[in-house]
Structure 1
Amino acid sequence: MKAAVVTTFDQKPQYQDFPAPTPKTNQELIHVLAASVNHRVQAQADGSHYTSDGQLPLIPGLDGVGRLADGRLAYFVTSDPVYGALAEQTVTDRRRIIPLAADTDAAKVAASMNPAMSSWMALKDRFNGDLAGKKVLILGATGHAGSLAIQISRYLGATTVIAVGRNQQKLAQLPADQKVSLLANDDDFTTAIAANADADIVLDYLWGEAARRTMLALLPARKGHQLLTWIEIGSMAGAALSLPAAALRAVDFTLIGSGQGSIAPQTFLRELPELARLLSQGQFNTASTTLPLAQVTANWTSADDKRLVFTMNEA
C-alpha cells in the first residue's frame, strides 16, 4: 500500500510503499478515506511530541475517516505505534471507532474533528457540557482549535465569549463578543483583560508568556470568591511560565490540564459520537485544504493557514 512514511525524524514523511497492516486481536482494519495534518501530527513525525517513543519507521496521523470491512463509514483514532492515519490502510483498537452516517463528508470531518475535540472534551469532561450563564475567555482564539472553541462554547450555552489572539485579521473575523489582541501594548492589554475579570473559564491554547501576561492582568482584577477555572490545552507560546505565588493565593483559581492522558478513554468514547454527528451536520467548521496523499511530502505544512486534509482513493 501507499503511505506517508517517517524513516528519520529530520526529514518530512515520504510518500512510498509500506507493508499493509494485519489486524491483531481487538483491532479493526480500516480503508482510510481522509486524514488531517496538524501541529500534533507534525510533532509526531519529527519525534518532538512528549508521547514519542523514538520507534521508526512509522506512519504518522492521529485520526481520520475510513471504511470498515463491512462497508460502514467511521471516524477513528489511531492506536497502533507504527500504523497511523496517513495511509491507504491502517488498524486501530475497535473501541476507538465511531460509526458515521453514510452521507458524511469524510474530508470535512477529518479536518474538524481533532481541533474541535480539544475544547469539546475539556468542556464536556470538566463542566458536563453545560456552560449556561458562563463567560468564557479563549486564549489562542485565532488558531484552528481556538476558533472552533468559540463555536463550541456558544453551542454549549456560554453567555459571553472573549477571543484573545495574535493574528489581527483573523481576530477581527471571529464571532466573539469581545476581542483582545496579544499585540496590544501592556497598558491596553491589561485594561482589556481586566474588563473581563469576571470570566468563569479560560481555555488556554498558548501557555508560556501569553498565559503569564493574561494571568497577571486577569487575576488581580477579580473580586469576591467567584471560581475561575483555567484549562490548559496547548503550549503554542511556550512550554513553561513563571508566575508569582501570590497571584494564585489571592483568588479562587483552579488550574487544570486537558489532553491525552488527563481524560479517561471511556470519556472520549462517550462524548465523541455527539461531536461527530454535529460535525457531519455542519454545526462546527474550520477552513481546510484537501489534497491527494501523493502530495503529502510537498505539502507537509500549510501555506495559507488552512487545515490540511489528505485523501486516498476509495477501492
Structure 2
Amino acid sequence: MHAAVVRSFSAPPRYGTFPAPVASGDREVLVDVLAAGLHPRVRSAANGSHYTSDGTLPMVPGVDAVGRTPSGELLYFVADDGASGTMAEQAVVDRRRAVTLPPGTDPAAVAAAMNPGMSSWIALRRRVAFRPGGSVLVLGATGNAGQLAVQIAKHLGAARVVGAGRDPDRLDLLKTLGADDVVRLGTDEPDALARAAADVDVVIDYLWGRPAEQAMRALMTARADRAKALSWVQIGAVAGGDITLPSALLRAGNLTVLGSGQGSVTAAGIVAELPSLAAEITAGTFAVDAVPMPLAQVERAWSVPTAPGQRIVLTP
C-alpha cells in the first residue's frame, strides 16, 4: 500500500510503499483510511522525540484516523499500541478502540479535532474533579489544542475561562470561541495572569517550561484563599520539558500538579470518552478548521504554514 514512511528521525516522512497491515481475530477489521490528522503528537513520534518512541524504523506515523470498513461503516479509531500508523491507505482497527460515526459525518473535521480535543476533554473529565461553575486557565491557548480546550471547558460548564498565549491574533480569536479573558504571555504577564486567573480551579497547561514556572508563582502568590484547591494539569511541553518548582509553593497553598496523557489514563478510560466527544464534533459544537491535503504531499504538509485554528489532515 502507499503510506507516509519515516526512514530517518531527522527528515520528514516521504510518500512511498509499505507492507499492508493484516487484520487478525474477531475484534480487528481492515479499513480504508479517509483522513488522518497531522497532530503534534504525530510529529514527535515521527522525529523520535515522543516519550513512547522505541526508535524502530522504518515506521508509518499517525495515531488516529477516520476509516471505512468493507461493509461501509464509518469509524473514528485510535491506533493500537505497537500497530502501524494511520497515515496510509489502509489500517487495522481494533473495534474496542473505535466509535461508529453517523452517515454524513465530515471525516476531515473529526480527524482534525478528536486528538487535540481529547487532551482537555480527558483532563477535565478523567484527571480532575471538575464541576460546572468552575473556572479554567488554558496555558498555551493559542495552539490548536488550546483553542479547543477553551471551547471544551465552556461546553463542560466552566463559568469562567481564561486563555493565555503569545500570538495576539490568535488571542483575539479566543474571545470569539468563549474565552472570558485573555492574557498575552511574554509581554503583560505575570501580573496580568494574577489579575485574570488568580482564583481559577484548574490550569490546563500545554507549555510547561519557563511560562509554567512564572504562571505557577503568580497564581499561587495572588490567590485570595491559598487553601482553595488548584489542579495544575500538565499536557504539553512546548516551552520546555522541565521546570523549577519551589517547595514553598506546595507548602503555602493547595496546589496539585498532575499529568494527563498516555500512561496516566488507561486505554480503556480514553476509549470510553471517544463516543461523547465524537458526538459533539459531528454535531458542530466546536469550531473546527480542517485543511485536507493529499497523502502523496506528506513532505510538503510537514512544513506548510497554517492559520490560527487550522489543522492539516492527510487524505489517502
TM-score by length of 1: 0.94
What corresponds to 1:83 in structure 2?
84
What corresponds to 1:308 in structure 2?
312
Tell me the number of residue pairs that the alignment of Structure 1 and Structure 2 aligns.
308
The CA deviation at 1:80 is 5.2
Dislocated runs of 4+, deviation >4 Å: none
For the residues of structure 1 that align with 2:72 and 2:291, how far apart are their CA atoms?
A: 26
Identity of aligned residues (%): 48
Matched, 1:280 2:282: yes
For the residues of structure 1 that align with 2:173 and 2:76, how far apart are their CA atoms?
A: 30
The CA deviation at 1:239 is 0.1
- Which residues in structure 2 correspond to 1:217-236 (within 5 Å)? 217-224=218-225, 225-236=227-238
Whichever residue aligns with residue 296 of structure 2, its letter is: A
For the residues of structure 1 that align with 2:284 and 2:131, how far apart are their CA atoms?
A: 21
Partner of 1:142, secondary structure, is: coil
Whichever residue aligns with residue 113 of structure 2, its letter is: S
8 Å contact kept, 1:288–1:308? yes
**Please, which moves more after superposition, 150-159 or 62-71?**
62-71
**Please, which moves more after superposition, 13-22 or 59-68?**
13-22
1:180 to 179, 183, 188: 183
For the residues of structure 2 that align with 1:286 and 1:112, how far apart are their CA atoms?
A: 6
- Which residues in structure 2 correspond to 1:1-315 (within 5 Å)? 1-25=1-25, 26-79=27-80, 81=82, 83-127=84-128, 131-175=131-175, 176-184=179-187, 188-195=188-195, 196-224=197-225, 225-305=227-307, 306-312=310-316
Structure 1 residues without counterparts, runs of 5 or longer:
none
Partner of 1:21, secondary structure, is: coil
8 Å contact kept, 1:207–1:240? yes
For the residues of structure 1 that align with 2:198 and 2:212, how far apart are their CA atoms?
A: 14
8 Å contact kept, 1:27–1:92? yes
For the residues of structure 2 that align with 1:9 and 1:23, how far apart are their CA atoms?
A: 28
**Please, which moves more after superposition, 11-20 or 161-170?**
11-20
Partner of 2:189, secondary structure, is: helix
* Distance change (3 Å), C-alpha of 1:29 and 1:297: same
For the residues of structure 2 that align with 1:76 and 1:302, how far apart are their CA atoms?
A: 26
Cα offsets for 1:4-43 (capped at 9, x unmatched): 0112222211111222111133432121000011211011
* Distance change (3 Å), C-alpha of 1:256 and 1:161: same
Partner of 1:202, secondary structure, is: strand
8 Å contact kept, 2:109–2:289? no
For the residues of structure 1 that align with 2:47 and 2:167, how far apart are their CA atoms?
A: 26
The CA deviation at 1:98 is 0.9
For the residues of structure 1 that align with 2:98 and 2:207, how far apart are their CA atoms?
A: 30
Structure 2 residues without counterparts, runs of 5 or longer:
none
The CA deviation at 1:172 is 1.6
The CA RMSD measured in Å over matched residues stands at: 1.4
Whichever residue aligns with residue 2 of structure 1, its letter is: H
For the residues of structure 2 that align with 1:189 and 1:9, how far apart are their CA atoms?
A: 36
Partner of 1:163, secondary structure, is: strand
The CA deviation at 1:230 is 0.6
8 Å contact kept, 1:136–1:199? yes
